[in-house]
Amino acid sequence: MSRDAPAETAIDVRNLQEFFRDAVREALQRQHVGVDDHTEHYVVNVLTMFSRSDALFDQTSDGPRLKPLALMLADAANAPSTEQRSRTLQRLGDVSLFVAGFLSHGFARRLVDVDYHIAMGGRAYGTLADSCGQGVRGRALGGVFAELAAKFQRLVDALNDVSEMSWRNSDRDVLRLYEVWLKTGSPRAHGLLRQLGVTPTVAPTGRVPN
């Protein structure tokens, strides 16, 4: 899962879920993001599941492809049952969270994709939270999805932190951070810019995360 990192920076992880659990917990603390234990566990499971490419990508005649979020949303709208609709919305939210949080460099610096994934994922989780049943399991899931929706941007920041443990700065990286801060109001991007000696002076135009 390395992004062109040198071989000497590779992390030997025997238990991937345990690694993600510790890494996510530490990142949440560094980013000052408080979430329920059930929400944290859910995020760790998403990272563990999508660490397998066959779980993230759809198999097509052209090889493994990541299904566009707009098509997932259309599938949810046209789902033949409430259960299928919920499953599709959940996958939309999960994919958005993983891609925006863990694979953001794969956007090749197309900022609109980051903002798009944050918006789509947050809305998908919010819709799921509203549609969960009133039983014990439904209330528990509803609480998790509601928190994922409300704190989606902040969770993306935390997952960026996990993904970029071996992150190295360049002029393009600094520009990217500044663009992310302008677009989304990310506290993490703002903090990293300050650490790099860059003081953002223009008010961000994106959503200010909760």
* 59-86 per-position pLDDT tens digit: 888 778 888 999 999 999 999 999 999 9
Judged against a pLDDT cut of 60, whether residue 154 lies above it is answered with yes
> Residue 155's pLDDT is what?
95
User: What is the DSSP code string of 124-193?
Assistant: HHHHHHHH--SSHHHHHHHHHHHHHHHTHHHHHHHHHHHHTTT----HHHHHHHHHHHHHH--HHHHHHH
Q: What is the chain's mean pLDDT, rounded?
A: 79
> Residue 3's pLDDT is what?
42
Instruction: Compute the distance between CA of residue 93 and CA of residue 150 in angstroms, rounded to an integer.
Output: 12
Kind of pairing between the strands at 63-65 and 58-60: antiparallel
pLDDT tens for 116-131 read 899 999 999 999 999 8
Question: Which range among 80-94, 112-126, 186-200 shows the weakest confidence by mean pLDDT?
Answer: 186-200
Reported pTM: 0.72
> Residue 163's pLDDT is what?
81
pLDDT grade for 165, boundaries at 50, 70 and 90: low
User: What is the DSSP code string of 69-101?
Assistant: HHHHHHHHHT-SSHHHHHHHHHHHHHHHHHHHH
Instruction: Compute the distance between CA of residue 163 and CA of residue 25 in angstroms, rounded to an integer.
Output: 13
State percent of the chain over pLDDT 70.
Answer: 73
User: 32 near 186, Cβ under 8 Å?
Assistant: no
* Residue labelled with tokens 């944050």: 118
Coil, helix or strand at residue 200: coil
The phi and psi torsions of 65 (rounded to 5 degrees) equal -140, 145
Instruction: Compute the distance between CA of residue 64 and CA of residue 116 in angstroms, rounded to an integer.
Output: 22
> Residue 114's pLDDT is what?
81
> Residue 14's pLDDT is what?
52
Please, which residues have CB within 8 angstroms of residue 188's CB and are 6 or more apart in sequence? 31, 157, 158, 160, 161
Nearest one of 150, 54, 46, 145 to 101, comparing CA atoms:
46
